[in-house]
Amino acid sequence: MTHSTPSLAGKTALVTGSTSGIGLGIAKKLAAQGANIMLNGFGEYQSAMNEIAAMGVQVDYHGADMSKPSDIEDLMAATAKRFGQCDILVNNAGIQHVATVQDFPTERWDAIIAINLSSAFHTSRLALPSMQASNWGRIINIASVHGLVGSAQKSAYVAAKHGIVGLTKVTALENATTGVTCNAICPGWVLTPLVQKQVDARAASLGVSNEEAKRGLLAEKEPSMQFTTPEELGDLAVFLCGPASGNIRGVSWQMDGGWSAQ
Ligand code: NAD
């Protein structure tokens, strides 16, 4: 049997918000291709560190609060110090809050814009100089189907996600003649802690079971009636880092079971 070198061996990937859900799924898929990993997020991280280290790559963790530009500066400096530079940047950290515009708490609005949108500006502005110097880099912004269409009660989230789709295009254009690409991934429903909260709220308000609440959520929006998985999203991220993707620039790629095709 022949063993090929993992495609991302020697590269370093920073995945923000990678202690659970989509970020962790992407971090594990990048590690499986040989990338060293900087984890970030507020959740328990030791088991993720152990799992990724067992894949034979180097892994570290930084607890930056992605709503704070000074924390982000520290995260980027720590990544460069630990690994040399950040070759693959996955802007994934995100939160949700559900309320009508007139009832939306202003503090939640500010937090969602800071974490889901502005953090990607700060990480990108700090990662780009070394990516440009080495003429290779991948910035992958985890947007959402809500970067392309709206849903009631999600004003801040939809505004932030439309914003990150725009940031993706501009970052891609500014680097279009280089080896640095920037693209967005737009998932539909993924059954992570962020969505389980919405399933729980639906089950409570309609007085239905967890399973019924999940089916209802899918039936409203996602024709496939299936959740996208963090593993599928990780495989798309790996593809966007690979050799065939060098001229994919500024794309927002749905993985939404047909949600936005309607
Ligand atoms: P999740 O709640 O499982 O994970 C979010 C991660 O972000 C966690 O690691 C959390 O600790 C971290 N985080 C939250 N606030 C942070 C902060 N201030 N600083 C640093 N880290 C912070 O959620 P998820 O569903 O995996 O979401 C990940 C991304 O995917 C988000 O940007 C979300 O908008 C996007 N997304 C999710 C879905 C879905 O259906 N779950 C769909 C489309 C897009």
**Domains defined for the chain, CATH in brackets:** 12-188+228-255 (3.40.50.720), 190-227 (no CATH)
Running DSSP on this structure, what letter comes out for residue 63? Answer: -
Cβ of 19 less than 6 Å from ligand 1: yes
Separation between Cα atoms, residue 75 and residue 110, nearest integer Å: 21
The whole-angstrom separation of Cα 69 and Cα 72 is 5
H or E element, residue 187:
strand 180-187
**Residues that are catalytic:** 157
pLDDT (tens, 9 = 90+) of the chain, 262 residues, equals: 445 567 999 999 999 999 999 999 999 999 999 999 999 999 899 999 999 999 999 999 999 999 999 999 999 999 999 999 999 999 999 999 999 999 999 999 999 999 999 999 999 999 999 999 999 999 999 999 999 999 999 999 999 999 999 999 999 999 999 999 999 999 999 999 889 999 999 999 999 999 999 999 999 999 999 999 999 999 999 999 999 999 999 999 999 999 999 9
Q: Where are the alpha helices (DSSP H) in the chain?
A: 21-32, 46-53, 69-83, 106-113, 119-134, 155-174, 193-206, 210-221, 230-241
- Whether 119 is in the pocket of ligand 1, judged by its Cβ within 6 Å, is no
CA distances from 262 to 60, 145, 258, 259 (A): 42, 12, 7, 6
Ligand 1 centroid – CA 186 distance (Å) = 13
Q: Which residues contact 178 (CB under 8 A, 6 or more apart)?
A: 132, 135
Please answer whether residues 29 and 104 qualify as being in contact, where contact means their C-beta atoms are separated by less than 8 angstroms.
no
22 phi and psi, to 5 degrees?
-65, -45
CB count, 10 Å around CB of 130?
A: 15
Q: Which of 194, 198, 233 to mutate to test the pocket of ligand 1 (most atoms within 8 A of CB)?
A: 194
Distance 40 CA to ligand 1 centre (A): 11
**pLDDT reported for residue 254:** 98
The identity of residue 211, as a single letter, is E
Residues 6 or more apart whose CB falls under 8 angstroms from that of 44 comprise 19
Two structure tokens written together for 179: 């080896």
What's the pLDDT at 258? 98
| Distance between Cα 17 and ligand 1 center (Å) | 6
